[in-house]
Protein backbone atom coordinates (compact mmCIF):
# COMPACT_ATOMS: atom_id res chain seq x y z
CA UNK A 1 0.00 0.00 0.00
CA UNK A 2 1.51 3.31 -1.05
CA UNK A 3 0.47 6.76 0.07
CA UNK A 4 0.01 9.17 -2.80
CA UNK A 5 -0.84 12.82 -3.22
CA UNK A 6 -2.21 12.16 -6.68
CA UNK A 7 -5.75 11.08 -7.49
CA UNK A 8 -6.43 7.71 -5.89
CA UNK A 9 -6.55 4.56 -7.97
CA UNK A 10 -8.40 1.84 -6.12
CA UNK A 11 -7.47 -1.79 -6.60
CA UNK A 12 -8.22 -4.94 -4.67
CA UNK A 13 -7.07 -5.31 -1.10
CA UNK A 14 -6.41 -8.95 -0.24
CA UNK A 15 -6.37 -9.38 3.49
CA UNK A 16 -4.97 -12.38 5.27
CA UNK A 17 -4.27 -12.84 8.94
CA UNK A 18 -5.18 -10.71 11.91
CA UNK A 19 -3.95 -9.59 15.30
CA UNK A 20 -5.76 -9.22 18.58
CA UNK A 21 -5.17 -7.09 21.64
CA UNK A 22 -7.04 -8.35 24.70
CA UNK A 23 -7.50 -6.55 27.98
CA UNK A 24 -8.27 -8.28 31.25
CA UNK A 25 -11.85 -7.04 31.35
CA UNK A 26 -13.45 -6.81 28.84
CA UNK A 27 -11.63 -8.90 26.20
CA UNK A 28 -11.51 -9.01 22.40
CA UNK A 29 -11.09 -12.36 20.62
CA UNK A 30 -11.77 -14.21 17.35
CA UNK A 31 -10.93 -11.24 15.12
CA UNK A 32 -11.38 -12.09 11.42
CA UNK A 33 -10.65 -9.69 8.55
CA UNK A 34 -11.93 -10.24 5.01
CA UNK A 35 -12.69 -8.08 2.01
CA UNK A 36 -15.89 -8.34 -0.01
CA UNK A 37 -13.86 -8.22 -3.24
CA UNK A 38 -14.60 -8.50 -6.15
CA UNK A 39 -18.15 -7.17 -5.66
CA UNK A 40 -17.14 -4.51 -3.12
CA UNK A 41 -14.00 -2.89 -1.74
CA UNK A 42 -15.39 -2.76 1.81
CA UNK A 43 -13.60 -4.84 4.44
CA UNK A 44 -15.53 -6.74 7.13
CA UNK A 45 -13.86 -7.08 10.52
CA UNK A 46 -15.61 -9.54 12.82
CA UNK A 47 -14.76 -9.92 16.50
CA UNK A 48 -16.12 -11.20 19.78
CA UNK A 49 -16.42 -8.95 22.83
CA UNK A 50 -16.50 -10.69 26.19
CA UNK A 51 -17.34 -8.91 29.42
CA UNK A 52 -18.26 -10.82 32.56
CA UNK A 53 -20.36 -7.98 33.97
CA UNK A 54 -22.19 -7.44 30.65
CA UNK A 55 -21.51 -3.70 30.47
CA UNK A 56 -21.26 -1.60 27.33
CA UNK A 57 -17.85 -0.49 26.13
CA UNK A 58 -16.10 1.25 23.23
CA UNK A 59 -13.58 -0.32 20.92
CA UNK A 60 -10.73 1.37 19.11
CA UNK A 61 -9.14 -0.08 16.00
CA UNK A 62 -5.78 0.38 14.28
CA UNK A 63 -4.70 -0.96 10.90
CA UNK A 64 -1.27 -2.21 9.82
CA UNK A 65 0.44 -3.36 6.65
CA UNK A 66 2.77 -5.89 8.18
CA UNK A 67 4.52 -3.92 10.92
CA UNK A 68 3.80 -0.53 9.35
CA UNK A 69 1.03 1.44 11.06
CA UNK A 70 -1.49 2.94 8.63
CA UNK A 71 -2.97 6.41 9.08
CA UNK A 72 -6.62 5.42 8.84
CA UNK A 73 -9.09 8.21 9.73
CA UNK A 74 -11.86 7.44 12.20
CA UNK A 75 -14.56 7.93 9.60
CA UNK A 76 -13.17 5.05 7.53
CA UNK A 77 -14.60 2.69 10.17
CA UNK A 78 -18.26 2.11 11.00
CA UNK A 79 -20.28 -0.47 12.89
CA UNK A 80 -19.84 -1.74 16.45
CA UNK A 81 -17.46 0.89 17.81
CA UNK A 82 -19.34 2.66 20.62
CA UNK A 83 -21.46 1.32 23.49
CA UNK A 84 -20.89 -2.23 22.28
CA UNK A 85 -22.60 -5.07 24.14
CA UNK A 86 -20.86 -8.44 24.62
CA UNK A 87 -21.21 -10.92 21.78
CA UNK A 88 -20.32 -11.37 18.10
CA UNK A 89 -19.75 -7.92 16.55
CA UNK A 90 -18.78 -6.37 13.21
CA UNK A 91 -16.84 -3.32 12.01
CA UNK A 92 -16.74 -2.22 8.37
CA UNK A 93 -13.62 -0.55 6.97
CA UNK A 94 -14.02 1.63 3.87
CA UNK A 95 -10.62 2.09 2.14
CA UNK A 96 -12.13 4.77 -0.13
CA UNK A 97 -12.14 7.13 2.87
CA UNK A 98 -8.39 6.82 3.36
CA UNK A 99 -5.52 8.69 1.71
CA UNK A 100 -3.95 5.51 0.35
CA UNK A 101 -3.82 3.87 -3.06
CA UNK A 102 -5.49 0.59 -2.35
CA UNK A 103 -2.99 -1.88 -3.79
CA UNK A 104 -3.06 -5.61 -3.05
CA UNK A 105 -1.71 -6.40 0.41
CA UNK A 106 -1.01 -9.72 2.01
CA UNK A 107 -0.08 -8.35 5.43
CA UNK A 108 -3.10 -6.18 6.30
CA UNK A 109 -4.08 -6.68 9.94
CA UNK A 110 -5.91 -4.87 12.68
CA UNK A 111 -5.61 -4.41 16.41
CA UNK A 112 -8.74 -3.88 18.49
CA UNK A 113 -8.80 -2.57 22.06
CA UNK A 114 -11.92 -2.48 24.25
CA UNK A 115 -11.97 0.48 26.61
CA UNK A 116 -14.34 3.39 27.27
CA UNK A 117 -12.56 6.75 27.49
CA UNK A 118 -13.56 9.66 29.71
CA UNK A 119 -11.92 12.38 27.63
CA UNK A 120 -10.98 12.92 24.00
CA UNK A 121 -8.22 15.41 23.13
CA UNK A 122 -7.59 16.79 19.64
CA UNK A 123 -4.22 18.46 19.03
CA UNK A 124 -5.14 21.32 16.70
CA UNK A 125 -1.50 21.90 15.72
CA UNK A 126 -1.27 18.48 14.03
CA UNK A 127 -2.54 17.28 10.66
CA UNK A 128 -5.14 14.57 10.12
CA UNK A 129 -3.72 11.14 10.88
CA UNK A 130 -0.51 12.52 12.39
CA UNK A 131 0.66 10.58 15.42
CA UNK A 132 -0.74 12.10 18.59
CA UNK A 133 -3.39 14.22 16.87
CA UNK A 134 -6.16 12.43 18.75
CA UNK A 135 -5.68 11.09 22.28
CA UNK A 136 -8.12 9.34 24.59
CA UNK A 137 -7.88 9.47 28.37
CA UNK A 138 -9.23 6.47 30.26
CA UNK A 139 -10.31 5.87 33.87
CA UNK A 140 -7.28 5.26 36.05
CA UNK A 141 -5.12 7.81 34.21
CA UNK A 142 -2.89 9.70 36.64
CA UNK A 143 -4.28 13.01 35.35
CA UNK A 144 -7.74 12.16 36.70
CA UNK A 145 -8.58 12.72 40.34
CA UNK A 146 -11.51 12.23 42.67
CA UNK A 147 -11.89 15.31 44.82
CA UNK A 148 -14.90 16.41 46.84
CA UNK A 149 -18.01 16.22 44.67
CA UNK A 150 -15.92 15.46 41.58
CA UNK A 151 -15.23 11.96 40.24
CA UNK A 152 -12.60 11.25 37.60
CA UNK A 153 -12.16 14.97 36.90
CA UNK A 154 -9.19 16.26 34.95
CA UNK A 155 -8.17 19.25 37.06
CA UNK A 156 -4.98 20.21 35.17
CA UNK A 157 -6.99 20.74 31.99
CA UNK A 158 -7.20 24.40 32.98
CA UNK A 159 -3.68 24.81 31.56
CA UNK A 160 -3.81 27.32 28.68
CA UNK A 161 -2.60 24.80 26.08
CA UNK A 162 -5.97 23.04 26.38
CA UNK A 163 -7.77 26.30 25.71
CA UNK A 164 -5.77 27.22 22.61
CA UNK A 165 -3.76 24.50 20.85
CA UNK A 166 -5.92 21.54 21.88
CA UNK A 167 -9.62 20.73 21.98
CA UNK A 168 -10.76 18.69 24.97
CA UNK A 169 -14.11 16.87 25.07
CA UNK A 170 -15.69 14.94 27.96
CA UNK A 171 -17.66 11.72 27.50
CA UNK A 172 -21.28 12.02 28.70
CA UNK A 173 -23.28 8.84 29.16
CA UNK A 174 -26.76 8.46 27.67
CA UNK A 175 -29.58 8.87 30.17
CA UNK A 176 -32.91 10.33 31.20
CA UNK A 177 -33.51 13.66 32.96
CA UNK A 178 -36.15 16.28 33.62
CA UNK A 179 -35.67 19.12 31.14
CA UNK A 180 -37.02 22.59 31.81
CA UNK A 181 -37.73 24.57 34.95
CA UNK A 182 -40.15 23.96 37.80
CA UNK A 183 -43.45 25.88 37.79
CA UNK A 184 -41.56 28.97 38.81
CA UNK A 185 -38.07 30.03 39.83
CA UNK A 186 -37.94 33.05 42.10
CA UNK A 187 -41.56 33.80 41.25
CA UNK A 188 -40.98 34.02 37.51
CA UNK A 189 -42.38 31.56 35.00
CA UNK A 190 -40.64 30.99 31.65
CA UNK A 191 -43.20 29.81 29.10
CA UNK A 192 -40.55 28.16 26.90
CA UNK A 193 -39.13 26.01 29.73
CA UNK A 194 -42.01 23.58 30.31
CA UNK A 195 -40.82 20.69 32.44
CA UNK A 196 -40.84 17.25 30.80
CA UNK A 197 -38.87 14.00 30.76
CA UNK A 198 -36.22 13.60 28.07
CA UNK A 199 -34.21 10.50 27.23
CA UNK A 200 -30.95 10.79 25.31
CA UNK A 201 -30.23 7.38 23.80
CA UNK A 202 -26.63 7.95 22.72
CA UNK A 203 -23.45 8.83 24.58
CA UNK A 204 -21.73 11.96 23.36
CA UNK A 205 -18.49 13.86 23.78
CA UNK A 206 -18.93 17.56 24.54
CA UNK A 207 -16.21 20.22 24.61
CA UNK A 208 -15.37 21.20 28.15
CA UNK A 209 -14.93 24.83 27.08
CA UNK A 210 -16.68 27.22 24.76
CA UNK A 211 -14.65 27.32 21.52
CA UNK A 212 -11.88 29.88 21.94
CA UNK A 213 -10.46 32.39 19.52
CA UNK A 214 -7.16 30.52 19.15
CA UNK A 215 -8.95 27.21 18.53
CA UNK A 216 -11.00 28.93 15.82
CA UNK A 217 -7.78 30.22 14.23
CA UNK A 218 -6.19 26.74 14.20
CA UNK A 219 -9.27 25.16 12.64
CA UNK A 220 -10.23 27.78 10.07
CA UNK A 221 -6.85 29.36 9.32
CA UNK A 222 -8.35 32.81 9.94
CA UNK A 223 -8.04 35.22 12.85
CA UNK A 224 -11.53 35.79 14.26
CA UNK A 225 -13.01 39.25 14.50
CA UNK A 226 -14.26 39.25 18.08
CA UNK A 227 -15.73 41.89 20.36
CA UNK A 228 -13.64 40.78 23.37
CA UNK A 229 -10.15 39.84 22.24
CA UNK A 230 -7.91 37.16 23.76
CA UNK A 231 -6.72 33.74 22.54
CA UNK A 232 -8.28 31.94 25.53
CA UNK A 233 -11.45 33.96 25.50
CA UNK A 234 -14.46 32.40 23.78
CA UNK A 235 -15.05 33.01 20.09
CA UNK A 236 -17.89 35.56 20.07
CA UNK A 237 -19.63 37.31 17.17
CA UNK A 238 -20.33 34.03 15.38
CA UNK A 239 -23.56 32.93 13.71
CA UNK A 240 -25.25 29.57 13.16
CA UNK A 241 -24.62 30.02 9.43
CA UNK A 242 -20.90 30.53 10.08
CA UNK A 243 -20.80 27.19 11.87
CA UNK A 244 -22.96 25.00 9.59
CA UNK A 245 -23.45 27.01 6.38
CA UNK A 246 -26.28 29.01 4.86
CA UNK A 247 -29.41 26.86 4.70
CA UNK A 248 -27.75 23.91 6.45
CA UNK A 249 -30.03 23.57 9.45
CA UNK A 250 -30.79 20.20 10.99
CA UNK A 251 -34.10 19.58 9.25
CA UNK A 252 -32.95 20.55 5.78
CA UNK A 253 -29.51 18.92 5.75
CA UNK A 254 -29.32 16.52 8.72
CA UNK A 255 -25.62 16.05 9.52
CA UNK A 256 -24.37 17.64 6.28
CA UNK A 257 -22.62 21.01 6.59
CA UNK A 258 -21.38 23.48 3.98
CA UNK A 259 -17.82 23.19 2.64
CA UNK A 260 -16.95 26.70 3.82
CA UNK A 261 -18.29 26.23 7.35
CA UNK A 262 -16.40 25.88 10.61
CA UNK A 263 -17.76 22.38 11.25
CA UNK A 264 -16.73 21.15 7.80
CA UNK A 265 -13.18 22.37 8.44
CA UNK A 266 -13.08 20.72 11.87
CA UNK A 267 -14.35 17.44 10.43
CA UNK A 268 -11.85 17.61 7.58
CA UNK A 269 -8.83 18.31 9.79
CA UNK A 270 -9.65 15.43 12.17
CA UNK A 271 -11.27 12.82 9.91
CA UNK A 272 -14.21 12.77 12.35
CA UNK A 273 -17.40 13.48 10.45
CA UNK A 274 -19.83 13.60 13.38
CA UNK A 275 -18.68 16.85 15.01
CA UNK A 276 -21.63 19.21 15.35
CA UNK A 277 -23.40 21.56 17.72
CA UNK A 278 -25.18 20.13 20.77
CA UNK A 279 -28.92 19.76 20.62
CA UNK A 280 -31.01 21.82 23.00
CA UNK A 281 -31.59 18.73 25.17
CA UNK A 282 -27.95 17.62 25.08
CA UNK A 283 -26.85 21.03 26.28
CA UNK A 284 -29.20 21.12 29.27
CA UNK A 285 -28.42 17.51 30.18
CA UNK A 286 -24.68 18.24 30.10
CA UNK A 287 -25.12 21.54 31.93
CA UNK A 288 -27.11 19.96 34.76
CA UNK A 289 -24.71 17.03 35.23
CA UNK A 290 -27.31 15.21 37.28
CA UNK A 291 -28.63 18.22 39.23
CA UNK A 292 -32.25 19.40 39.31
CA UNK A 293 -31.59 22.85 40.75
CA UNK A 294 -31.38 26.21 38.99
CA UNK A 295 -27.57 25.98 38.96
CA UNK A 296 -25.37 23.00 38.21
CA UNK A 297 -23.56 22.97 41.56
CA UNK A 298 -26.75 21.88 43.32
CA UNK A 299 -27.84 25.35 44.44
CA UNK A 300 -30.69 27.67 43.53
CA UNK A 301 -30.69 31.38 42.86
CA UNK A 302 -31.46 33.66 45.77
CA UNK A 303 -31.67 36.80 43.63
CA UNK A 304 -32.68 37.29 40.00
CA UNK A 305 -30.08 39.99 39.34
CA UNK A 306 -26.89 39.17 41.25
CA UNK A 307 -26.41 35.89 43.10
CA UNK A 308 -23.56 34.58 45.26
CA UNK A 309 -24.09 30.98 44.09
CA UNK A 310 -23.79 31.96 40.43
CA UNK A 311 -20.69 34.06 41.13
CA UNK A 312 -18.78 30.79 41.58
CA UNK A 313 -19.85 29.31 38.24
CA UNK A 314 -19.76 31.85 35.46
CA UNK A 315 -19.31 35.32 34.00
CA UNK A 316 -22.50 37.37 34.00
CA UNK A 317 -23.47 40.92 34.92
CA UNK A 318 -23.12 40.31 38.64
CA UNK A 319 -19.61 38.81 38.39
CA UNK A 320 -18.03 41.59 36.33
CA UNK A 321 -19.35 40.98 32.85
CA UNK A 322 -20.97 44.37 32.40
CA UNK A 323 -17.57 46.07 32.66
CA UNK A 324 -15.18 43.36 31.46
CA UNK A 325 -17.13 41.40 28.88
CA UNK A 326 -16.36 37.69 28.55
CA UNK A 327 -13.93 35.84 30.80
CA UNK A 328 -11.13 33.48 29.79
CA UNK A 329 -12.74 30.05 29.51
CA UNK A 330 -12.36 27.92 32.60
CA UNK A 331 -12.14 30.90 34.96
CA UNK A 332 -14.94 29.55 37.15
CA UNK A 333 -15.75 26.19 38.75
CA UNK A 334 -16.82 23.28 36.54
CA UNK A 335 -19.86 21.10 37.07
CA UNK A 336 -19.62 17.49 38.27
CA UNK A 337 -18.79 16.30 34.74
CA UNK A 338 -15.87 18.69 34.37
CA UNK A 339 -17.64 21.13 32.01
CA UNK A 340 -16.89 24.83 32.34
CA UNK A 341 -18.87 28.00 31.63
CA UNK A 342 -22.19 26.23 31.19
CA UNK A 343 -23.66 29.27 32.98
CA UNK A 344 -23.00 32.63 31.34
CA UNK A 345 -19.99 34.01 29.42
CA UNK A 346 -21.83 33.69 26.08
CA UNK A 347 -25.20 32.44 24.91
CA UNK A 348 -24.30 29.15 23.20
CA UNK A 349 -25.72 28.15 19.83
CA UNK A 350 -27.45 24.77 19.62
CA UNK A 351 -28.32 22.53 16.69
CA UNK A 352 -32.10 22.86 16.97
CA UNK A 353 -34.35 25.39 15.34
CA UNK A 354 -36.16 27.25 18.11
CA UNK A 355 -39.59 26.29 19.38
CA UNK A 356 -41.19 28.18 22.25
CA UNK A 357 -43.38 25.24 23.27
CA UNK A 358 -41.47 22.20 24.52
CA UNK A 359 -44.62 20.48 25.72
CA UNK A 360 -44.94 18.24 28.77
CA UNK A 361 -44.85 14.77 27.19
CA UNK A 362 -41.88 12.42 27.62
CA UNK A 363 -39.69 12.32 24.53
CA UNK A 364 -36.52 10.61 23.27
CA UNK A 365 -33.78 12.49 21.37
CA UNK A 366 -35.78 15.66 20.58
CA UNK A 367 -34.65 17.94 17.76
CA UNK A 368 -36.73 21.10 17.99
CA UNK A 369 -38.80 22.83 15.32
CA UNK A 370 -38.98 21.61 11.72
CA UNK A 371 -38.93 25.07 10.16
CA UNK A 372 -37.90 28.60 10.99
CA UNK A 373 -34.97 31.01 10.92
CA UNK A 374 -34.19 31.09 14.65
CA UNK A 375 -32.08 28.58 16.56
CA UNK A 376 -31.85 27.77 20.25
CA UNK A 377 -29.25 29.49 22.42
CA UNK A 378 -28.46 28.50 25.98
CA UNK A 379 -27.79 29.82 29.52
CA UNK A 380 -26.97 33.47 29.37
CA UNK A 381 -24.12 35.84 28.61
CA UNK A 382 -21.57 38.13 30.20
CA UNK A 383 -23.95 41.06 30.76
CA UNK A 384 -27.16 39.26 31.73
CA UNK A 385 -28.89 39.20 35.09
CA UNK A 386 -28.54 35.96 37.04
CA UNK A 387 -32.02 34.76 36.08
CA UNK A 388 -31.00 34.27 32.44
CA UNK A 389 -28.07 32.03 33.35
CA UNK A 390 -29.99 29.14 34.94
CA UNK A 391 -29.63 25.55 33.69
CA UNK A 392 -33.08 25.65 32.08
CA UNK A 393 -32.66 29.08 30.47
CA UNK A 394 -33.43 29.12 26.72
CA UNK A 395 -33.30 31.90 24.17
CA UNK A 396 -33.08 32.19 20.38
CA UNK A 397 -30.86 33.76 17.74
CA UNK A 398 -31.45 34.55 14.07
CA UNK A 399 -29.34 32.17 11.95
CA UNK A 400 -27.40 35.04 10.36
CA UNK A 401 -26.88 37.01 13.56
CA UNK A 402 -23.18 37.16 14.50
CA UNK A 403 -23.69 38.78 17.88
CA UNK A 404 -20.99 39.64 20.46
CA UNK A 405 -23.33 37.87 22.89
CA UNK A 406 -23.14 34.49 21.17
CA UNK A 407 -20.60 31.64 21.09
CA UNK A 408 -20.62 27.84 20.92
CA UNK A 409 -19.02 24.51 21.82
CA UNK A 410 -18.93 21.28 19.80
CA UNK A 411 -20.11 17.71 20.41
CA UNK A 412 -19.67 14.24 18.93
CA UNK A 413 -22.74 12.06 19.26
CA UNK A 414 -21.72 8.38 19.29
CA UNK A 415 -24.12 6.34 17.18
Average pLDDT over residues 268-277: 94
* pLDDT tens-digit readout, 28-81: 999 999 988 888 889 999 999 998 766 789 999 999 988 888 888 888 999 999
pTM for this model (two decimals): 0.88
The pLDDT, as a whole number, for residue 337 is 95
pLDDT at residue 189, rounded to an integer: 67
pLDDT of residue 314: 97
Contact call for residues 225 and 157 (beta carbons, < 8 A): no
Condensed to tens digits (0 to 9), the pLDDT of residues 104-116 reads 556 889 999 998 8
Instruction: Quote the pLDDT of residue 15.
Output: 46
Length of the chain: 415
Q: Who wins on pLDDT, 140 or 10?
A: 140
pLDDT digits (tens, 9 = 90+) for 315-334: 999 999 999 899 999 999 99
Ordered by start, the domain boundaries in the chain are: 2-116, 136-413
Q: What is the pLDDT of residues 361-393, one digit of tens each?
A: 999 999 899 899 999 999 999 999 999 999 999
3-state SS track over the chain: CEECCCCCCECCCCCCCCCCCCCCCCEEEEEEEEECCCCCCCEEEEEEEECCCCCCECEEEEEEECCEECCCCHHHEEECCCCECCEEEEEEECHHHCCEEECCCCCEEEEEEECCCCEEEEECCCCCCCCCCEEEECCCCCCEEEECCEEEEEHHHHCCHHHHCEEEEEEECCEEEEECCCCCECCECCCCCCCEEEEECCCEEEECCCCEHHHHHHHHCCCCCCCCCCCCCECCCCCHHHHHCCCCCHHHHCCCCCCCCHHHHHHHHHCCCCEECCCHHHHHHHHHCCCCCCCCCCCCCCCCCCCHHHHCCCCCHHHCHHHHCCCCCCCCCCCCCCCCCCCCCCEEEEEEECCCCCCCCCEECCCCECCCCEEEEECCCCCCCHHHHCCCCEEEEECCCCCCCEECCCEEECC
> What is the pLDDT at residue 155?
84
Read off φ and ψ for residue 87, nearest 5 degrees.
135, -170
Calculate the alpha carbon distances from 362 to 68, 195, 196, 292, 365 in Å: 51, 10, 6, 17, 10
Of residues 154 and 13, the one with the higher pLDDT is 154
What dotted CATH number matches 136-413? 3.90.1580.10
Mean pLDDT of 193-206: 95
Amino acid sequence: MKQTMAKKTVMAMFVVGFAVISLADPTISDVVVRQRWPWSRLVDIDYVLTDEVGSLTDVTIKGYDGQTALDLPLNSFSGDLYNVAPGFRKIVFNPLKTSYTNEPMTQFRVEIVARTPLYMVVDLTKAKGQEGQIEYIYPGDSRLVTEGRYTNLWRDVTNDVYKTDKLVLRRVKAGTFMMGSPVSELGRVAANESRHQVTLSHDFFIAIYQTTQKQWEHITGTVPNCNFLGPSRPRDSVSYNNLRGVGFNWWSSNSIVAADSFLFKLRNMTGIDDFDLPTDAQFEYACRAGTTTALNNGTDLTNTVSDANLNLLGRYGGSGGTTGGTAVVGSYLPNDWGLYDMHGNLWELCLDLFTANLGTASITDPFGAKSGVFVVTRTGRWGNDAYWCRSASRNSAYVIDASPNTGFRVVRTLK
